[in-house]
């Protein structure tokens, strides 16, 4: 009783302050209202609903009415036969994607910055952004068409050179190269934007001084461009490390075939297959897997952000 | 840009060394290869779409259209399901993006001003970037709200993107001077008046950037439809394309898809023949709107993205 008595005056003060602030700022809140409503209904409601991962979800009982089963579905997932394979596939797909995809935009930005003809430079810059605007479905369709075993251009080149036609999309060994290669083709150009912005902000006097000192183009790249790009590149690298276990589900779903399951079986697609596509959807089980992934990704991002802040003063928040 | 051109002009006075000239040749060669890799697949799609199906099947279409014909486009435009999904996509994209831009801009303005509770709002919004309920809870939420399999869900899902919101807020903060706000307040303006009479008219660039961002994302999205829709009549274009293009199963392939319209296409044989090029035509028809929008808006576009990225 004494506690509530001592709290009451303060909460009254808070209420008064809130009322005052609301009277002053209500128009701002009205302007924000649709946006906030969206986040509450479409982001925070599902976060509340994630508790079905710990329940035996039955549509008839709803989210809060279904029976509590604790960690049953998490145990089921971690003891399932393909769990290890899926974690490994998801990690390797992202790891190789980072390994091969990360340096390309930096190279493109540096080489673009060295182009002299203004027209050609503008054309090149416009052109390398274009693939970014192609949809995932069309990209997958292009892979199916170009790498088709019967009339795809790649296989006609291989057979013309005397080789044997390869059924790319059905072979497990080719899933990662196709996935990552098409990813680089589609987004490497777009990802140069940040690096180009950094390069154009370099003081031109630096280049002039270097020219007077007899530096070649290559020297300037080595001693001016690269050092300027390092901080932003490190930040991008660290940020990308934060998504090593996330998955590009919509693209993987399109490229997964019965033939390449050994490498294309990744966590995001599994969640979709078990929870949405299956004729008898296992909502609780799929939610549990999704929750696991989200928590792991969240922890990785927080860790990486913390490490980055300590080491380089570069952080998201 | 002015800095760049000044740099170029001064450079001309200095004669380039032999090494630099070699570097320039290597660089041009490099860009020749890069541009070939980037553009040739797109060119190939384009020329295959206007070639004869037999030439396409024998992979004879490499540099220029072979036996020019428009029968693929004929098959595409006579297909009522494709046309219907095309109209659906236009509706989802236009209505959805318009709503997204308005809502984002209003919220971005509010977040660019000082008010009590701003920190909490920022935190709550940023948090959704790094943590979500996951696919299944989102799906069940939509179903419980009665939005499953409706046109509304295609518009309401992904209505606001946190990233775009930040870009818009940074734009308003950096390119609209605070003096303007103070002057407006002295003249008796409140937030509504200031937002609608001063901020909106000055936000042309950011409206263009947000429209392209939201528009292209919506036009290209198939996953929302895949999870949230059951009625084929509500399908967006990308979802229909998926059946035509990205499938090896016999129930969902271009052959079965176009064979179903054999009566309009001059019999089954002709339909199957046309289906071969129709795939390429579908790609062209689906991609052209997004790419054209980008090329027209690119002046604003790159600028706006830079504004966002420099801050983030």
Q: Evaluate whether B295 touches B308 at the Cβ level (below 8 Å).
A: no
Instruction: Kindly report the nearest CA distance between residue A162 and chain B, in angstroms.
Output: 16
Q: What is the rounded distance in angstroms from the CA atom of residue A285 to the CA atom of residue A140?
A: 29
Question: Which residues 175-204 of A are in CB contact (within 8 Å) with B?
Answer: 185, 189, 193-194, 197, 200, 204
Tell me the pLDDT band of B269, cut-offs 50, 70 and 90. confident
Percent of chain A with pLDDT over 70: 95
Average pLDDT, chain B: 86
Q: Evaluate whether B55 touches B72 at the Cβ level (below 8 Å).
A: no
Which of A64-68, A302-306, B12-16 has the weakest average pLDDT? B12-16
Output the pLDDT for position B11: 52
Nearest to B135 among A18, A115, A290 (CB): A290
pLDDT at A12 over 70: no
B194-201 CB contacts, 8 Å cutoff, 24+ apart:
B195/A31, B195/B106, B195/B109, B199/B105, B199/B109, B199/B172, B200/B105
Burial B172-194 (b: 16+ CB within 10 A, else e): bbeebeeeebeebeeeebebeeb
Over residues B206-211, mean pLDDT? 89
Output the pLDDT for position B63: 87
| DSSP structural state of residue B16 | P
Over residues B22-48, mean pLDDT? 94
Q: Which residues of A touch B38 (CB under 8 A)?
A: 127-128, 130-131, 185, 189
pLDDT at B9 over 70: no
Interface test with A, best of B133, B198, B252 (most A CBs within 10 A): B133
Residues paired with residue A56 on neighbouring β-strands, in sequence order: A67
pLDDT at A7 over 60: no
Instruction: Kindly report the nearest CA distance between residue A5 and chain B, in angstroms.
Output: 26
Q: Convert the pLDDT of each residue in A14-29 to its tens digit.
A: 888 888 888 888 999 9
Over residues A145-149, mean pLDDT? 89
Q: Convert the pLDDT of each residue in B117-152 to its tens digit.
A: 899 999 999 999 888 889 999 999 999 999 999 999
Output the pLDDT for position B2: 47
Which of A147-156, B9-18, B49-58, B244-253 has the weakest average pLDDT? B9-18
Q: What is the rounded distance in angstroms from the CA atom of residue B96 to the CA atom of residue B90?
A: 10
Residue that wins the pLDDT comparison between B41 and B260:
B41
Q: Which residues of B touch A271 (CB under 8 A)?
A: 134-136
Over residues A87-95, mean pLDDT? 93
Tell me the pLDDT band of B1, cut-offs 50, 70 and 90. very low
Cβ contact B103–A34 (<8 Å): yes
Percent of chain A with pLDDT over 90: 52
C-alpha pair distances (Å), B273 with each of A53, A86, A150, A216, B263: 49, 40, 15, 58, 14
Output the pLDDT for position B252: 60
Over residues B196-223, mean pLDDT? 90
Nearest chain B residue (CA) to A130: B291
Percent of chain B with pLDDT over 70: 87
Domains and CATH numbers, chain B: 16-69 (no CATH), 74-311 (1.10.3720.10)
Output the pLDDT for position A232: 85
- Which residue in this structure is represented by tokens 């990225």? B309
Domain spans in chain A, listed from the N-terminal domain onward: 2-51, 72-312
Q: Convert the pLDDT of each residue in A215-236 to its tens digit.
A: 888 899 999 999 999 888 888 8
Over residues B34-53, mean pLDDT? 93
pLDDT at B8 over 60: no
pLDDT at B311 over 60: no
| Whole-prediction pTM | 0.87
Over residues A152-157, mean pLDDT? 88
Interface test with A, best of B137, B220, B275 (most A CBs within 10 A): B137
Cβ contact A286–B136 (<8 Å): yes
Question: What CATH superfamily classification does A72-312 receive?
Answer: MetI-like (1.10.3720.10)
Q: What is the rounded distance in angstroms from the CA atom of residue B134 to the CA atom of residue A291?
A: 7
Output the pLDDT for position A75: 93
Question: Which residues 88-127 of A are in CB contact (within 8 Å) with B?
Answer: 108, 111-112, 114-116, 118, 120, 124, 126-127
Q: What is the rounded distance in angstroms from the CA atom of residue A94 to the CA atom of residue A99?
A: 9
Instruction: Output the 3-class SS for A31-89.
Output: HHHHHHHHHHHHHHHHHHHHHHHHEECCCCCHHHHCEECCCHHHHHHHCCCCHHHHHHH
Which of A2-11, A59-68, B251-260 has the weakest average pLDDT? A2-11
Q: Convert the pLDDT of each residue in A167-195 to its tens digit.
A: 998 999 999 999 999 999 999 998 998 89
Over residues B217-231, mean pLDDT? 94
Nearest to B247 by CA among A257, A147, A248: A257
Percent of chain B with pLDDT over 90: 48
Q: Evaluate whether A255 touches A175 at the Cβ level (below 8 Å).
A: yes
pLDDT at B303 over 90: no
Would you call A102 helix, strand, or coil by DSSP? coil
Please give the torsion angle defined by the CA atoms of residues B18, B24, B25 and B26, in that order, rounded to the nearest 10 degrees. 110
Helices B118-130 and B162-175, packing angle to 10 deg: 140
């Amino acid at each position: 009783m004494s506690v509530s008595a001592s709290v009451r005056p303060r909460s009254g003060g808070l209420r008064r302050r809130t009322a005052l602030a609301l009277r002053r700022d209500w128009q701002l809140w009205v302007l924000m209202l649709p946006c906030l409503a969206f986040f509450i209904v479409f982001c925070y409601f599902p976060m509340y609903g994630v508790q079905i991962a710990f329940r035996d979800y039955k549509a008839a009982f709803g989210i809060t009415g279904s029976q509590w089963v604790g960690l049953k579905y998490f145990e089921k997932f971690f003891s399932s036969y393909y769990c290890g394979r899926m974690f490994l596939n998801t990690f390797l797909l992202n790891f190789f994607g980072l390994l091969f995809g990360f340096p390309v935009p930096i190279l493109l930005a540096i080489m673009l910055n060295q182009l002299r003809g203004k027209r050609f430079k503008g054309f090149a810059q416009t052109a390398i952004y274009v693939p970014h605007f192609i949809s995932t479905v069309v990209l997958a369709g292009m892979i199916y068409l170009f790498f088709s075993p019967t009339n795809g251009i790649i296989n006609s080149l291989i057979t013309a050179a005397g080789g044997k036609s390869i059924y790319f999309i059905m072979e497990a060994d080719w899933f990662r190269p196709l996935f990552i290669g098409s990813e680089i083709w589609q987004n490497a150009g777009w990802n140069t934007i940040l690096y180009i912005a950094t390069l154009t902000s370099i003081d031109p006097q630096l280049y002039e001084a270097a020219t007077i000192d007899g530096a070649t183009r290559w020297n300037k790249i080595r001693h001016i461009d690269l050092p300027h790009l390092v901080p932003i590149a490190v930040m991008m690298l660290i940020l990308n490390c934060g998504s090593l276990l996330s998955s590009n589900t919509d693209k993987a779903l399109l490229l997964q075939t019965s033939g390449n399951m050994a490498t294309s079986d990744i966590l995001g697609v599994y969640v979709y297959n078990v929870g949405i596509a299956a004729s008898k959807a296992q909502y609780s089980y799929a939610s549990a897997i999704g929750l696991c992934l989200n928590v792991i990704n969240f922890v990785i991002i927080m860790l990486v952000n913390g490490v980055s802040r300590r080491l380089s003063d570069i952080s998201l928040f | 840009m002015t800095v760049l051109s000044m740099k170029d002009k001064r450079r001309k006075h200095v004669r380039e060394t032999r090494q630099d000239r070699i570097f320039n040749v290597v660089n041009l060669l490099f860009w020749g290869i890069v541009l070939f890799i980037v553009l040739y697949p797109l060119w190939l799609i384009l020329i295959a779409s206007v070639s004869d199906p037999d030439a396409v099947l024998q992979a004879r279409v490499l540099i220029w259209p072979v036996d020019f014909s428009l029968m693929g486009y004929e098959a595409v435009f006579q297909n009522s399901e494709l046309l219907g999904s095309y109209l659906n996509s236009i509706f989802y994209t236009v209505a959805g993006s318009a709503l997204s831009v308005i809502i984002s801009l209003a919220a971005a303005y509010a977040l660019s001003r000082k008010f009590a509770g701003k920190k909490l709002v920022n935190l709550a919004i940023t948090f959704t970037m790094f943590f979500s309920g996951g696919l299944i809870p989102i799906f069940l939420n939509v179903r419980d709200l009665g939005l499953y399999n409706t046109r509304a869900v295609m518009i309401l899902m992904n209505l606001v993107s946190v990233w775009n919101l930040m870009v818009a807020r940074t734009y308003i903060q950096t390119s609209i001077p605070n003096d303007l706000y103070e002057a407006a307040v002295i003249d008796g303006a409140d937030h509504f008046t200031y937002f609608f009479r001063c901020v909106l008219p000055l936000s042309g660039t950011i409206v263009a950037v947000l429209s392209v961002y939201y528009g292209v994302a919506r036009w290209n999205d198939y996953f929302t439809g895949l999870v949230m829709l059951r009625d084929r009549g509500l399908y967006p274009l990308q979802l229909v394309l998926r059946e035509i293009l990205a499938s090896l199963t016999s129930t969902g392939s271009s052959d079965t898809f176009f064979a179903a319209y054999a009566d309009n296409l001059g019999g089954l044989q002709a339909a199957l023949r046309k289906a071969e090029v129709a795939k390429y035509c579908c790609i062209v028809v689906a991609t052209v709107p997004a790419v054209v929008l980008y090329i027209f808006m690119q002046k604003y576009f790159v600028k706006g993205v830079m504004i966002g990225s420099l801050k983030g």
